[in-house]
Structures are given as C-alpha cells and as structure tokens.
C-alpha cells in the first residue's frame, strides 16, 4: 500500500531563517505531488504541484519554492522566512490522471518567531 511521510512534524524557526520541509511517498511510481498550506482556522491553499521530476508549478506568489529531485520526493524551501509563513504545511500525492483523489501526509506545523 502507498504511504506518505512528512517531516518534521513541528518546527519553530526565527524570522529570516531558511526552511526545508521534506515529503516522500512510498508504494507508487510517478505520482503527482502537492504542497498545501493551511492557516489557522481556514481551508487549504495549494502552493505547488508537480507532475514529474524537476517539474514544478506554482499557484501563488510567495517567498517559498519547491523542488522534486527524485520521483517520490518533494521539498518545500525558503531562503528567508517571514512571519506570515507560519501555518500548517501539508504534502499530498495522487495517481496521475484526471479526477484521482489526493492523499495527504500528517503535515508540518511551522511557527515563525
């Protein structure tokens, strides 16, 4: 069966520091991968998605970036974190193709001080 792992589960970072969140998927090949952010008490906002290695599409302008160095690895990064980057970050995967459901990891709760 397929599994998705995100780490770390929680992270506290100072303003201006860099960020690297990692997500890996097991048990499937060539998945679509997604990064979402959920601000406290609000719905999810799609940040990035990827259909293959090295292919990244950005949904919203921000100081975050994403990379997919391997088929089942998705990384969310920032060079300098802002206070507004605080939130709950979720990675998801889906089988390629239209209308396939997405499956989420347990998320990383990021607090910027």
Partner 1 sequence: DAKTTQPTSMDCAEGRAANLPCNHSTISGNEYVYWYRQIHSQGPQYIIHGLKNNETNEMASLIITEDRKSSTLILPHATLRDTAVYYCIVRVGGLGNNAGNMLTFGGGTRLMVKP
* Interface ranges with partner 1 (CB under 8 A): 6, 32, 34, 36, 38, 42-46, 49-51, 57, 59, 90, 92, 94, 96-107, 109
**Closest CB to partner 1 among residues 14, 29:** 29
In contact, 36 and 46? CB cutoff 8 Å: yes
Least separation in angstroms between residue 84's CB and partner 1 is: 19
- 19-26 and 3-7 beta bridge pairing: antiparallel
Question: How far is residue 101's CA from residue 99's CA, in Å, rounded to a whole number?
Answer: 6
**Closest CB to partner 1 among residues 13, 44:** 44
Least separation in angstroms between residue 60's CB and partner 1 is: 12
H/E run at residue 6? strand 3-7
């Amino acid at each position: 069966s397929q599994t998705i792992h995100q780490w770390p589960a929680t992270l506290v970072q100072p303003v201006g520091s860099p960020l690297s969140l990692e997500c890996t998927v097991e048990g499937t090949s060539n998945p679509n991968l997604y990064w979402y952010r959920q601000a406290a008490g609000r719905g999810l906002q799609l940040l990035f998605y990827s259909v293959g290695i090295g292919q990244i599409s950005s949904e919203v302008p921000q100081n975050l970036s994403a990379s997919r160095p391997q088929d089942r690895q998705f990384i969310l990064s920032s060079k300098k974190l802002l206070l507004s980057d605080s939130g709950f970050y979720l990675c998801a995967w889906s089988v390629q193709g239209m209308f396939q459901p997405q499956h989420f990891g347990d998320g990383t709760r990021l607090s910027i001080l």
